[in-house]
Structure 1
Amino acid sequence: MGDYSKALSFYEKDLEICQKTLPSNHSDFATSYNNIGSVYSNMREYTKALSFYEKALEIEEKTLPPNHPDLATSYNRIGGVYNDVREYSKALSFYEKALEIRENTLPVDHPSLAISYNNIGNVYSNMGEYSKALSFYEKDLGISQKTLSSNHSDLAISYNSIGNVYKNMGQYSKALSFYEKALEIRQNTLSSNHPDLATSYNNIGVVYNKMEDYSKALSYYERALDIKQHALPPTHPSIKNVKESIEIVKRKL
């Protein structure tokens, strides 16, 4: 929290200088507003974040051409805040504006397009519209597979997202396949006690539990618990959740 207040203080001083020296529509104002909004977003003060992002966007919409990449970035930021506060239709609207600019201005395999597809996939997943989510996650994955190394952490995130959707759709063997791809990357690239590994083990445990393969579910849950107990404080709710999953599975064995 201390780092955030320092950042906020720094950016607010920067804004004061802009207010004293620049016309109100100067692009430096947009930069200042975006910086302050970003700090508030990281602090989860979403109403304040939105207020500053909207001030930045107002300047950018007046001063930039309609397909400018900075506009796409701003639409993306605002979409992210709406997603965080679960206003999914608004999130979708802003993410789609960002995507439209990027599709009109970038090559088809550009990483920023992958980010847009992933963001829209996340919103549809949060809305429970899994087939739409899958369509966007697959577009994201298609770009990532072409542009990233086979062990890149972003690929693991893509595989994990697709696994989540298949799990929620009840297609457990497909979910397992994608979760295992994510796990393989994480095993190859992360330390043995990294929390992302625990997430992968837990996800696979959940799927085996759903498939009624309880001994495998138990094995993966126990691996997840082992990492969480090393990596997290003992009262963390995530530890409690895995322990409960283990107890449930043990009763089914």
Structure 2
Amino acid sequence: GRYSEAEPLYIQALALRRKLLGEEHPDVATSLNNLAGLYDSQGRYSEAEPLYIQALALRRKLLGEEHPSVATSLNNLAALYHSQGRYSEAEPLYIQALALWRKLLGEEHPDVASSLNNLAALYRSQGRYSEAEPLYIQALALRRKLLGEEHPSVATSLNNLAALYYSQGRYSDAEPVYIQALDILEQRLGVDHPNSVSCRENLAYLRDRLPQNPE
């Protein structure tokens, strides 16, 4: 999060790569993507967008349409639009990225699970819960299979699915899923990790909504 220290270094790296390798080189695209990612993290979306677009165009030109780096660029630009609430622009990019990762990496790969999760999150943001749910469930199943039951990414998927149920008012469905997520996070990352704290807060907030059992 030391953005003011990171920015001049990313800019220097980009300038040096352009000077040494020329404008059209994959490493230049990587530098553009990294600087865009920094601006994205800071909410400087109008500065991030043209850099992400340049990186995507360069990767397509140099690496071809079907390359993992192109999928990454599509995903990053989609995430930027998602952050801005530009959902109709984000959706086709997320879908393209998912299709590309499936084609290049096969159905069973962590990047495919992440892509499913991202598209599900977009649908959840739009209130398209019935479309989001099967994608979250697929992502969770894939992460369990590839990473094991106790992986932090599995906890992330559980947390996301619980949050979806919460959004729908399905509190009794959400509670056990949040409990599973919190158990993994506290065991693997510790009770004070930001992800653990966030999940614990989600569970507490949910429990405030649950009907109280009579004593």
TM-score by length of 2: 0.90
Structure 1 counterpart of 2:72 = 115
- CA drift at 1:95: 0.8
1:143 to 1:252, Cα distance in 2 relative to 1, 3 A? farther
Q: Distance in 2 between matches of 1:63 and 1:135?
A: 35
- Does the Cα contact within 8 Å between 1:159 and 1:181 map onto a contact in 2? yes
Distance (Å, rounded) in 1 between the aligned partners of 2:44 and 2:187: 36
- Contact 1:208/1:216 (CA < 8 Å) preserved in 2? yes
Flag structure 2 segments of 5+ consecutive residues without an equivalent: none
Q: Select which of 165, 169, 190 maps to 2:122.
A: 165
Deviations 1:166-215 (A, max 9, x none): 00000001110110110010111223221111111111111122223232
The one-letter code matched in structure 1 to 2:200 is: K
Count the aligned residue pairs.
210
- What is the alpha-carbon distance in structure 1 between the residues aligned to residue 29 and residue 212 of structure 2? 50
Q: Structure 2 matches for 1:81-230, cutoff 5 A?
A: 81-230=38-187
Structure 2 residue identity aligned to 1:186: R
Deviating above 6 A after TM superposition, structure 1's stretches of 4 or more consecutive aligned residues are none
Q: Are the aligned partners of 1:214 and 1:252 in contact in 2 as well (CA < 8 Å)?
A: no
Structure 1 counterpart of 2:83, one-letter code: N
SS of residue matched to 1:215: helix
Displacement of 1:151 after TM fit? 1.8
Deviation at 1:134, TM superposition (A): 1.4
Matched with 2:203 is: 243
Identity rate, percent: 35
Cα drift, residue 64 of structure 1: 3.1
If the length of structure 1 is used for normalisation, what is the TM-score? 0.77
**Relative contact order, CA 8 A, sep 6+: which one is greater?**
2
How far residue 137 of structure 1 moved from its aligned partner, in angstroms, is 0.9
**Deviation per residue, 1:127-164 (Å, 9 max, x gap):** 12122111211111111010113221111100000010
Q: 1:16 maps to which residue?
A: none
Q: Please provide the CA RMSD for this pair.
A: 1.8
SS in 1 for 2:85: coil
Q: CA deviation at 1:78?
A: 0.7
SS in 1 for 2:124: helix
**Alpha-carbon distance, 1:231 to partner:** 2.3
Quick check: 1:221–1:246 contact (8 Å CA) kept in 2? no
